[in-house]
Structure 1
Amino acid sequence: MNRPRPATPPGHRADALAHQVEGYLMVHAERERAGREAAALCARLPWLTTAQADDLTRHYTEQRLVLTRRTLEAITERAAELRGEYEARYAGLRRALLRRHAAGASLLLLAAGTVSATGMVLGR
């Protein structure tokens, strides 16, 4: 029997939409920045015709966006690697801490038992 899929929580949809809008705005800003840089480059090359300057601007902008995408993908990949490394390290530290606490609690119980037994023996 097919169960209906649970609805996506409204907060999750809003977060996803906010991330999409943010991504769109970042790409748009990067495209504008690349266009300004290309225009500045063309301004330093006064012998270019309008068509050549437009072509150079288009190619520069495309290459810049490809480079930006590759850079962001590399950063994302490295961030994921670091997250895995830090999570593994955290898990190891947490296990070590739990072992130490367990050993300390065991010693505390042993000491309490010893004191109690000693008190009972001496109380006779």
Structure 2
Amino acid sequence: MTAGQRRQHSPEVQGAVLANEAEGYLLAQTELERARGEATVLCGRLPWLTTGQAENLTHHYVQQRMGLTRQALQVTADRAMRLRGEYETRYRHLRRTLLKQHAACACLLIAGCSLACLLNR
């Protein structure tokens, strides 16, 4: 989110957005460090590698691992968006049905009260 987009929201929303961005950054850095650690362990199991080869292998491993992480997160985010759409659609349908039922009950109640008033005259 850009600074211009942040100004359009209330301070509470801006704070939440900033917190989410910071959390995302920290999670990405944690995943990056984890990938580097795994690459270091892998290179440690291959003692014949030169320093340059180990650095090259580490670089490629980290790039591949971060790409896989991005893909997995994207799949999860896409699924969450689909579920959100499905839940919102279902919620709107249930809300509309409930509103119709309440309107019908209110009409019946009004009709019953009107009938009772007419009969009592």
Q: TM-score range by the shorter chain?
A: 0.7 to 0.9
| Structure 2 equivalent of residue 59 of structure 1 | 60
Larger Rg: 1
The superposition leaves residues 24-77 of structure 1 with CA deviations (integer Å, 9 ceiling, x where unpaired) of: 211111110000111111122222222211111111001111111111112111
| 1:74 counterpart letter in structure 2 | V
Distance in 1 separating the partners of 2:15 and 2:65: 31
Root-mean-square deviation (CA, aligned residues, Å) is: 1.7
* Equivalent in the alignment of 2:72: 71
| Structure 1: distance between partners of 2:108 and 2:71 | 55
Matched positions, count: 115
Residues in 1 aligned to 2:109 and 2:28: alpha-carbon distance in whole angstroms: 60
Q: Which runs of 5+ in 2 are unaligned?
A: 1-6
* TM-score, normalization by structure 2: 0.84
Deviation at 1:20, TM superposition (A): 2.5
TM-score, normalization: structure 1? 0.82
Cα shift at 1:85: 0.7
Which residue in the other structure is 2:45 paired with?
Answer: 44
Amino acid corresponding to residue 33 of structure 1 in structure 2: R
Identity %: 48
Question: Which residue of 2 is the match for residue 108 of structure 1?
Answer: 109
